[in-house]
Chain A
Amino acid sequence: MSPRARRLAAAAGIDPASLAGSGPGGAVIGRDIPSGPVGERSAAALVTAAVPVDRSVRMRRAIGELMSRSWQEIPHYHLQTRAELSAALERLARANEAQPISRRVLPAALLLHAVARAAAHHPLVNGTYTGGAFHPADRVDLGVVVARRRRSARPDHRGRRPALAGRAHGALRDVVTRARRGRLRSADAAPASITVTNLGELGVDAVFGVIHPPQVALVGIGAVHEEPWAAGGMVAARPVVQLTLAGDHRVSDGLTGAAFLAEVVRNLQEDVAMNVEDAP
């Protein structure tokens, strides 16, 4: 094998032993290495050669390709902030108290709702970047990464006036249930305009995400922990969540991102309009 072929193969993530050589004596030379990113077909073939084909391996490879593309193409910036949730969680607990189980709303839905409402006011984090230009979305389609089966899915959470938390919860629950049973509808995997990844259930404090192309922003939600919170010269134990934003510098900058995150926090702290009784 020629040194150039070895270098190209390493750069393309290809095992040169899997290729037929066209050089002297069947040696693998530069032109035998497929140029550009590994296509879907050759990637699938390589997986087949390496290990028994398994859904999780294929999925890992698909995610790897998408995230590599994201990291190569999108100049990311990351911001982090904290939100104090005692008032929001107390309101939620009170509202849930009066509800049958089927209408109880999880804190996760409250967080998603706050993100969706803020995204509706910040067009530079809600849309797609394709063909060298940003296209703001005309509504908020919130993508939610469903942790356990590692699928991206979108609850039916649309509209310039984002749904109420109760409805967000119902949509979230349906889509999570379908994702985990491996029965996503094609609409569930439809393109989102912004994605939320909530790893709080796994116990991590904060998520610094990689944007899902062609989207331009990803919000990370960590665990809600009780921690010391200073306000008005006093320190008290309060439930606090870390929120992060991964933004695309081709479209927005830290100023826009900070204003967006600040509105998410405000929505959580002053959710006067958040009507959790209006569950489906």
Chain B
Amino acid sequence: MTATTELVLRLLVELAPEIDPATIDLQRELREQVDLDSMDFLNLMEAVAAETGVEVPERDYPLVASIAALAAYTDART
């Protein structure tokens, strides 16, 4: 697990404390696995931006659907 992956997982659990990070499949679409709505997702994007400086535009949301994809997207831009 990369440092960015760990960071993203930590931010996710801060937003939704009921999530057990051990149960998350990093490669699978996040919103298929956990109960996140569009507000939660926006908050996650904002938390990632605050930590890494990478702002994901709305048109790129399909590219960051899994934790691994979000981490890779962020790493490629920092």
Contact = CB atoms under 8 A, between A and B. Distances in A.
Query: A and B from one assembly?
Result: yes
A100 B38 contact: no
Given A107-B38, A108-B38, A148-B35, A97 B43 contact: no
Interface string A106-125: 11100000000000000000
Most buried by B among A100, A101, A177, A181: A101
Interface string A166-197: 00000011001100110000000000000000
Nearest to A173: B39
Interface of A: 93, 96-97, 100-102, 104, 106-108, 147-148, 172-173, 176-177, 180-181, 201
Most buried by A among B16, B39, B43, B45: B39
A110 B63 CA distance: 25
B75 interface: no
Main secondary structure of the interface of B (DSSP, over half): helix
Q: Which of B17, B42, B45 has the most CB of A within 10 A?
A: B42
A177 B15 CA distance: 9
Contacts of A147: 37
Interface residues of B, number: 16
Query: A-side binding surface: helix, strand, loop or mixed?
Result: helix
B13 to A, nearest CB: 13
Contact of A106 (B16, B38, B46, B59): B38
